Amino acid sequence: MVGKNPDLKINHIVAKSNDGDFSFTPQIPKEETFAVYEKLPTDLKETFLPDITFYDVNEQLLEPLGK
């Protein structure tokens, strides 16, 4: 996963698959841009993780940055 964190507000992300078989919760580096990754399980049916939420250091949900 790659992205931008221009105000360094994002602490971590939770990304989940549609069927709930897989979730990914990386800590986000304190950099304006980031790339985080995790090896996917071999039995994963789909690699698209459409359910993505962003949290700050206080576990507060961050609104989408594009709003």
Q: What is the pLDDT of residues 8-54, one digit of tens each?
A: 999 999 999 888 788 999 999 999 999 999 998 888 888 888 889 99
Beta strands in 1-67 (DSSP E): 2-4, 12-16, 23-24, 33-35, 51-55, 61-62
Identify the CA nearest to 7 among candidates 32, 37, 39, 35. 32
pLDDT in tens, 43-56: 888 888 888 999 99
d(CA 21, CA 7): 32
- What b-and-e string marks burial along 11-44, b requiring 16 or more CB atoms within 10 Å of the CB? bebebbbeeeebebeeebeeeeebebeeeeeeee
Kindly report the pTM of this predicted structure.
0.81
